[in-house]
Structure 1
Amino acid sequence: MAERTKPPFRADHVGSLLRPPALLEARGAAAAGRIDSEDLRAAEDDAIRDAVRMQEEIGLRAVTDGEYRRTSWHMDFIYGLDGIATADDKVKVSFHNEQGDLEFTAAALHVNGRIGVSETVFGDAFSFLRDCVEGAVPKLTIPSPSMVHWRGGRAAVDEGVYPELDGFWADLTAAYREEVRRLGELGCTYLQLDDTSLAYLNDPAQQRHVTEIGGDPEGQHVEYIRHINEALAGRPESMSVTTHMCRGNFRSSWVAEGGYDHVAEALFNELDVDGYFMEWDDERSGGFEPLRFVPAGSKQVVLGLVTTKKGALESKDELKRRVEEAARYVSLDQLCLSPQCGFSSTVDGNALTQDEQVAKLRLVVETAEEIWG
């Protein structure tokens, strides 16, 4: 089986890592005013250096900074764009787990000015990561442009700034193109756009949400795919781009359910990315049948078979069996393996230990080596 020399790799991971206790303590101290921003930055730097060493020692060929400088996987980036601010109202999202439901509440976003990118969002964070790695590829994760629209829709965009949504999308995708160009200049060769909407849209309950925000539940994914392609137009030739889709990941809980059937054909044939990180860690994700739409060639599907929501370790035999099952629908050479999501999409983290996290990442590397060589 051919070795992969470009991302995504046979053994890969989504991005976020559990925040170590020392970093959580430093964040709490900063919030309470006991330490300043420089002290917090130093604590983040130390934690990121340790995380990079851990990933490289395990054998991962792509490493991230664990998203240690963020509070959440997407909002830190979105608020870094010009023209977007927090709103007075709150967004409430219901998450589910085996014990019941829990509610996540965050400030809503409001587009109150022309969208742009005065400063390269996460530019300093990527540069620090780039300079920390020794032999691996530094990977940066950012939310897709869809996430600026997904929660609030038309109502979140000031009509005085953007009377028509076409202008909103034109400025948003232009800002992303400029961001991608700058990241390329910084040496980013592995960029991942995280997009929950492309998984959520398979759930009838989430399709109703699209209707409520003024969208078309049947074709919203096609519109989002078109705008993602606009955002990536002209990206550096040296940059590999993937997208990650999940159904919610907060304190080991989830939001949506349903297979990828609704979005699969457009997703695999129209979205201009090199690889797809997709979760298939339990029955909520449906079967592998949608993989039949993956075109033969260079596009990769990274099977998220190892859950980040529980500490119990999966068996290699079961993982191999499931990879074989997926290979009934797409060539084995177009498959890779990873955890199903990040370990800590928000600063809170999922319900497993640091040791369990490391064991799962090591399991991915060892299993991939045994499957693909």
Structure 2
Amino acid sequence: MTAAPVGIPTEPIGSIPRPAALLAAMADHAAGRIGDGDLAAAQDLAIRDTIRRLEEIGSPVVTDGEQSKPSFATYPLAGLGGLAPDGVVIPFADGHTRQLPRLTAGPLRYGVHADSYLRAALRHATVPVKQAVIAPSALSLLYPQAGIDGYPREAFLDDLSAEAEADIRGCLDAGAHVVQMDFTEARLALKLDPSGGLLEQFVALNNHVLERFSAAERARIGVHTCPGGDQDSTHSLDVDYTALLPGLLRLKAGAFYLQMAGEPEPGKALSVLADHLPADARVFIGVTDPVDPRVETPEEVRDRVLAAARHLPVDRLGTCDDCGFSPFADDTSTSREIAFAKIRARVEGTALAGRELLG
């Protein structure tokens, strides 16, 4: 087993490409060829294999790889009614799109809470497990601009905030090492509304939920952002990162997981990050780029950590991947083997940097 990083923590973001057997089981289940039990068995095998391989690499913190999530964004909607398929469309740079559902009736209630994924992972892990949850700001996009008769937006946001709080709290109570709020729509908000108004709304909504937790609980809650990563493309990399960071860092979280490996001008972003880093927050810098099929070397990872350490206090620095490797279950643009190779490079490169920085 590879040695764990010396002094500098490193964590995965979340999703890892599903193995072929699981993808086949998902297709068979959707077509009615197998039942729920067979699908659950295939998911459990994939979770077990994912955690085993992460632990063999030496990852000091693991996830379930989101093996049983349909997507990082829509898992709470599984099994729910009151949804239409024609919601907000998110365009990516390569021309493909993803579309959210549209809420047609209230009240909003999550069909699935993330602690169910966490409990399944904890059965197989021997090291701490983190759990990703979707930010309430992302799910706020379900509510149509035209409104819903008998269910005003204010009531929707109250219900959404309560469900998002329950999603996070359930994971904390179940023993998550940290709960990671996925806020990938942050940079997209500036693309949709360059005035910053939409981003301000998103930050306010997310803080409305985060403020429901104690300081000790918020120390175990982190926020992840990236310019989207799906089918080797992004939705908002063309938006100036430095315009996002000051607003993003107003979130009342104990950690921030920030895309940086794929950033065109990382030094510029790191400088702004250093100027706005909240007191006591730890920042995990992305040192591997899941959108790039080339596997980084440990030495490249080391150098990215050293570059970040020129701007940030080492005792508040960590590393991560820029984003998940397969945030939507059907994304096979990155192979499972490449994902694990990149994770190994992150773990080994972070250890190299730790030894150089801390001895």
Which residue matches 1:161? 151
Report the residue type matching 1:275 in the other structure. Answer: A
Which residue matches 2:193? 207
Cα distance 1:174–1:155, how it changes in 2: closer, same or farther (>3 A)? same
Whether the 8 Å contact between 2:306 and 2:353 is mirrored in structure 1 is no
Whether the 8 Å contact between 1:10 and 1:337 is mirrored in structure 2 is yes
Report the residue type matching 2:148 in the other structure. Answer: D
Which residue matches 2:338? 356
Q: Shift of residue 283 of structure 1?
A: 4.1
For these two proteins, the number of residue pairs brought into alignment is 346
Whether the 8 Å contact between 2:6 and 2:351 is mirrored in structure 1 is no
Whether the 8 Å contact between 1:176 and 1:232 is mirrored in structure 2 is no
Cα distance 1:154–1:40, how it changes in 2: closer, same or farther (>3 A)? closer
Distance 1:362 1:314 in 2: 9
Which residue matches 1:339? 321
Equivalent residues in 2 for 1:304-323 (5 A)?
304-323=286-305
Percent identity between matched residues is 25
1:187 matched to 2:175? The reply is yes
Report the residue type matching 1:132 in the other structure. Answer: H
Aligned counterpart for 1:241 among listed residues 192, 208, 221 = 221
Distance 2:264 2:150 in 1: 41
Which residue matches 2:91? 94
Deviations 1:140-198 (A, max 9, x none): 11110000124x66516415201xx4333222212222333333332233111101222
Report the residue type matching 1:207 in the other structure. Answer: D
Q: Shift of residue 3 of structure 1?
A: 6.5
Equivalent residues in 2 for 1:120-159 (5 A)?
121-134=113-126, 136-150=127-141, 154-155=144-145, 157-159=147-149
Distance 1:254 1:12 in 2: 22
Whether the 8 Å contact between 1:49 and 1:132 is mirrored in structure 2 is yes
Equivalent residues in 2 for 1:1-373 (5 A)?
10-77=9-76, 79-80=77-78, 85-89=82-86, 91-96=88-93, 101-106=94-99, 108-110=101-103, 112-117=105-110, 121-134=113-126, 136-150=127-141, 154-155=144-145, 157-162=147-152, 165-203=153-191, 206-207=192-193, 217-235=195-213, 237=216, 240-257=220-237, 258-268=239-249, 270-284=250-264, 287=268, 288-295=270-277, 297-373=279-355
Higher share of residues assigned strand: 1
Whether the 8 Å contact between 2:184 and 2:227 is mirrored in structure 1 is yes
Distance 1:184 1:13 in 2: 18
Report the residue type matching 2:201 in the other structure. Answer: E
Whether the 8 Å contact between 2:140 and 2:157 is mirrored in structure 1 is no
Q: Shift of residue 41 of structure 1?
A: 0.3
4+ long deviations beyond 6 Å: none
Cα distance 1:107–1:323, how it changes in 2: closer, same or farther (>3 A)? closer
Specify every segment of 5 or more residues in structure 2 that has no aligned partner in the other structure, as ranges. none
Which secondary structure does the structure 2 equivalent of 1:289 belong to? Answer: helix
Whether the 8 Å contact between 2:180 and 2:223 is mirrored in structure 1 is yes
Which secondary structure does the structure 2 equivalent of 1:262 belong to? Answer: helix
Which residue matches 1:213? none
Q: Shift of residue 255 of structure 1?
A: 1.0
Which secondary structure does the structure 2 equivalent of 1:113 belong to? Answer: coil
Which secondary structure does the structure 1 equivalent of 2:101 belong to? Answer: strand
Cα distance 1:107–1:295, how it changes in 2: closer, same or farther (>3 A)? closer
Whether the 8 Å contact between 1:200 and 1:246 is mirrored in structure 2 is no
Which secondary structure does the structure 1 equivalent of 2:107 belong to? Answer: strand
Q: Shift of residue 21 of structure 1?
A: 0.8
Which secondary structure does the structure 2 equivalent of 1:62 belong to? Answer: coil
Distance 1:144 1:72 in 2: 13
Specify every segment of 5 or more residues in structure 1 that has no aligned partner in the other structure, as ranges. 209-216
- TM-score, structure 2 as length reference: 0.87
Deviations 1:239-288 (A, max 9, x none): 611111111221111111223222322322x2111111111223456532
